[in-house]
Structure 1
Amino acid sequence: MSELLWQKIGAEQDAYMTIDSKGTPFAGGGLSASLRDLGRIGQLMLNEGEFNNSRIFPKSVVKNIKQGGDKQVFSKAGYKSLSGGSYRSMWWMLHNEHEAFAARGVHGQTIYIDPTANMVIVRFASYPTAKNAQIDPTSLPAYQALAEYLIKQK
């Protein structure tokens, strides 16, 4: 990860991954990184694999992720605040008019990307329970409102 990604985006600090008892990184969570470095990841995704005029990975990777998963299957999970959304490759697709998508931690941590507003938001959080559904009714509209504001400033 250091050679293929972290060094290429000019990360300011080391990142840490939770590992299991055999030393295998837990890819489904457990990444610990600085706010600014997570912002770099968001910018990399916003720019479809390009960072500081350097191609880190093919555009097709992000385009595939942004297609999202099966909306019908996703709807059965009951995420009321993500109605019409989907999940694919560790990213949550909102399928809204801005094509926004996010990486989300269970305690509110977020990398929120809004391509229409050309916006990346990184949020550190430590909500006491693992329930984004309790945070989403305020955070998702706030992200959308910020995106709308930025679009009006253009």
Structure 2
Amino acid sequence: MAPTASFTTSFVVLRGGEIVHESYPGYFAGGGNQWWTLGGERRPFTAVGIHGQYLYVDPDADVVIVKTSAWPRADDPSRDAESVTALRAVADRLHEDQR
């Protein structure tokens, strides 16, 4: 089966580091089906929904984290930064434990 558009790099929005989201400096590429790469050594990526919903994937750490939320606003850059920091910390710790 051919890969879907979400997982190919033929779309410029999915190539890491090529597009920076103005409101969210930690996101390096995105817009393709709401997937965003986050940079860093292992290059995790996340799908972001409204009101604080996340699907955080770090393939190198063998980690997938689902975060459900009910933020009062659909979009909140400060809560987003805090959430991504927390998700990274959990994945980092799990990655360390696997060594």
- How would you bin the TM-score normalised by the shorter chain? 0.7 to 0.9
AA paired with 2:24?
A: Y
Partner in structure 2 of residue 89 of structure 1: 32
Matched, 1:58 2:6: no
Q: 2:78 aligns with which of 134, 139, 151?
A: 134
**TM-score if structure 1 supplies the norm length?**
0.52
Unaligned residue ranges in structure 1 (runs of 5+): 1-55
AA paired with 1:94?
A: L
Q: Distance in 1 between matches of 2:18 and 2:53?
A: 24
Partner in structure 2 of residue 148 of structure 1: 92
What does the per-residue CA deviation read over 1:25-61, in whole Å, with 9 as the maximum and x for residues that have no partner?
xxxxxxxxxxxxxxxxxxxxxxxxxxxxxxx653885
- How many residues get paired? 94
SS at 1:116's partner residue? helix
Unaligned residue ranges in structure 2 (runs of 5+): none
Q: Distance in 2 between matches of 1:137 and 1:60?
A: 27
Instruction: Give the RMSD, CA atoms, in angstroms.
Output: 2.5
Contact kept? 1:69, 1:87, Cα under 8 Å? no
Q: Which has the greater radius of gyration?
A: 1
AA paired with 2:90?
A: L
Q: Percent identity?
A: 31
Q: Distance in 1 between matches of 2:24 and 2:6?
A: 26
AA paired with 2:32?
A: S
Q: Which runs of 4+ in 1 moved over 3 A?
A: none
AA paired with 1:150?
A: L
AA paired with 2:52?
A: G
Contact kept? 2:51, 2:73, Cα under 8 Å? yes
**TM-score if structure 2 supplies the norm length?**
0.75
